[in-house]
Structure 1
């Protein structure tokens, strides 16, 4: 699922490799201005879905692009990366983040829902509160909240995208172990997500499969089938 195809150093070759490998991917964007160019990367390959986003870390810098977001909104069934970031580095811009997030969610609600890939670092409860009133399909990307927050998100029907970078730490492994099997999707968050100090490629989701195989006590082939089934299911909900 969630990766930043346009931010790799050689995105065209990355997309071509995705095609050759038959990969499904959600190609998220961090600014509305990036959407058209990112969408063009995947033309003719329907397994790559391009999402329209405005990343919370950039909200205070790109809030003036909301008009562009609104103009492009009817062209995209997929929204991301969006959300809130309450970490020390960005909490001083929380007001701007909320304004952007509220604007996007109200547009999603008004226009019949969208699939949304959501950044929720240090802001899970606020995210969940906002989502209660929204007609959309939320995917919490790289969830890093508490177990109580995770249980609340599960109860609200959220989906989760998880990747190899999450299994480097105990908290990430515990999060993945709690997520229901029918609500889990795989991601790399590449090129930002790393594994063994290297940027993850979209196809590196398979580095997570041995962990899931052991966790669920099934074969890697069965893991692959579950993940693909979940992806097909969530896409069919639109």
Structure 2
């Protein structure tokens, strides 16, 4: 199984979660929300878990002073996330800080030769795509929990974006319709734990199996084929991260 967007360090018991992921041989992209969280989160990794360097858009106005730290760590991280933009009304006052931080991140990734990036685009799909278009050398963008329009999805596909899809996204008809339009060779599963509820409690990383089942149903394929598609996609993406 694959969980390509999970905040392992933000669970109440991160060491236990990390150990369970390794025991289950779950392939995890453990994203961070601030550069200062990098050291502690990296210490949880190893084995089947990769740590990504991030600066979450909802924290951009508070943590933009950590960009120099981001730049210092970046050469040692092939994966970046969670980064991006959030267009929610509660973050409108900090929009310019978000844009400045995301632009800095993309430029840094571009200068570093490109990175695999897990990107937040809630209510901000078009501005995210606009900036990705300005920095085509920034790497491979993976739009986590994409909620844009069909037109924005088509644009994202044309720009080479990938998508990570979790159980929460697949609970709505709109989410399923978007997944049905996504290129099968550019989709991975995610939990976005611990920020998602599953069965009335915090989702666990290995509960991405719910998403695997739902995507297979959307695409009309059996679980064996679905597992092979996801495995092939992950191997392709990991090879890009090693370049």
TM-score class normalised by the smaller sequence = over 0.9
1:80 is the counterpart of 2:106 = no
Whole-Å separation in 2 of the counterparts to 1:225 and 1:3 = 21
Shift of 1:38: 0.2
Structure-2-length-normalised TM-score: 0.94
1:174 is the counterpart of 2:157 = no
CA contact (8 A) 2:29 2:49 kept: yes
Please give the secondary structure, in 2, of the residue aligned with 1:192: coil
Whole-Å separation in 1 of the counterparts to 2:152 and 2:219 = 23
Partner of 1:140: 143
Please give the secondary structure, in 1, of the residue aligned with 2:119: strand
1:233 is the counterpart of 2:241 = no
Q: Deviation above 4 Å: which 4+ runs of structure 1? A: none
Partner of 1:184: 187
Whole-Å separation in 2 of the counterparts to 1:15 and 1:68 = 25
Gaps of 5+ in 1: none
1:28 is the counterpart of 2:60 = no
Partner of 2:115: 114
CA contact (8 A) 1:108 1:134 kept: no
CA contact (8 A) 1:141 1:162 kept: yes
Whole-Å separation in 2 of the counterparts to 1:82 and 1:181 = 24
Aligned-residue CA RMSD (Å): 1.0
Shift of 1:217: 2.1
Whole-Å separation in 2 of the counterparts to 1:70 and 1:157 = 25
Shift of 1:87: 1.1
Whose relative contact order is higher, 1 or 2, with alpha carbons under 8 Å and at least 6 apart?
A: 2
* 1:87-126 alignment runs, 5 A limit: 87-126=88-127
Gaps of 5+ in 2: none
